[in-house]
Amino acid sequence: MLKEATYCHESAWLRASERGRRAVGGIEGNGYCLILDMLRILVIDESQSRAAELCAGLIRAGHQVAAVLSSALDLNARIREIKPDVILIETDAPSRDTLENLAVMDRDMPRPVIIFSQDSDSQTIRSAMKAGVSAYVVDGLEISRLKPIIDVAVARFEEHQSLRKELAEATRKLSDRKVVDKAKGILMKTRGLDEEQAYAALRKLAMERAKPMAQVAQDLLDMAKLLL
């Protein structure tokens, strides 16, 4: 078995990693942005010999091996500790536990995930993609293909995160609009205002309290539940 969280300490390689890093990618809320030439990659593989070959290929491709784990057990805690840019998993077949751990990670601290597997079952692939996997490769691992596979996975991940952010923003705006409309309705009913006057009253209150209009509207709704 692999020793958990095995770190590389090759001084020349680490010096090169500092020279190669042009910008720092990081987590912002649930979003994630990568602007790196050299990526810190977490390798997960139950096979020590496979992992060693994979790590050598990653270094040759210009990336840094952040750590090597033998399983995805307690993955969220490991991600917080290691802070990798990309997660690369090589396995005969991804287990249910692995996919569940990836799904939790994708919700809490999303990262690009690449799986190399011998399992070509369509249901397994669908489950992996649903868990947030950016690339699932079933035709074998060729070290020479590592860099383009990683590049494509990162690009696909960033596009997915952008779409997820746009959807979340659209959902939030729709929710805010509904709250404001309900608050306007209460003002129109209780104060005898028309819609324009009710909106102006909410906007004035939001400015006075230095709060977003949706938050002021929600406060009004909460108060109305107690008083009306």
Same domain, 183 and 76: no
Q: Are residues 137 and 182 in the same domain?
A: no
Last residue of a domain, one of 141, 158, 179: 141
| Domain assignment of residue 148, yes or no | no
Q: What is residue 164's predicted lDDT score, i.e. its pLDDT?
A: 87
136 and 177, same domain (yes or no): no
pLDDT of residue 11: 33
- Tell me: do 202 and 126 sit in the same domain: no
pLDDT in the model for residue 141? 76
Residues 34 and 131 in one domain: yes
In this structure, is residue 160 part of a structural domain?
Answer: no
Number of domains making up the chain: 2
Sequence-distant (≥ 6) Cβ neighbours of residue 191 within 8 angstroms? 198, 201
Q: Which tokens go with 24?
A: 């720092």
Residues 183, 222: Cα–Cα separation, whole Å: 10
pLDDT tens, residue order, the chain (228 aa): 333 433 333 333 333 334 334 333 443 434 444 544 689 999 999 888 889 989 999 998 889 999 999 998 889 899 999 999 999 999 999 999 999 999 999 999 999 999 999 999 999 999 999 999 999 999 777 777 888 999 999 999 999 889 989 998 999 999 999 999 999 999 999 999 999 999 999 999 999 999 999 999 999 999 888 876
CATH of the domain at 70: 3.40.50.2300
Starting at the edge strand that comes first in sequence, how are the strands of the sheet with 86-91 ordered? Answer: 64-69, 40-45, 86-91, 113-117, 135-137
In the chain, what percentage of residues exceed pLDDT 70? Answer: 83
Examine the domain organization and report whether 95 and 205 are in the same domain.
Answer: no
| 190 and 80 housed in the same domain | no
Domain-located, residue 6: no
Domain that holds residue 53: 11-141
Q: Are 66 and 81 in contact (CB under 8 A)?
A: no
Structural domain contains residue 4: no
Any domain includes 32:
yes
Task: Report the CATH number at residue 210.
Answer: 1.10.10.10
Q: Is residue 5 part of a domain?
A: no
Question: Does residue 163 sit within a domain?
Answer: no
Rounded CA separation 168/124 (Å):
28
> Is 134 in the same domain as 192?
no
- Give the tens place of pLDDT for each residue, 92-118: 999 999 999 999 999 999 999 999 999
Helix (H, G, I), strand (E, B) or coil at 39: coil
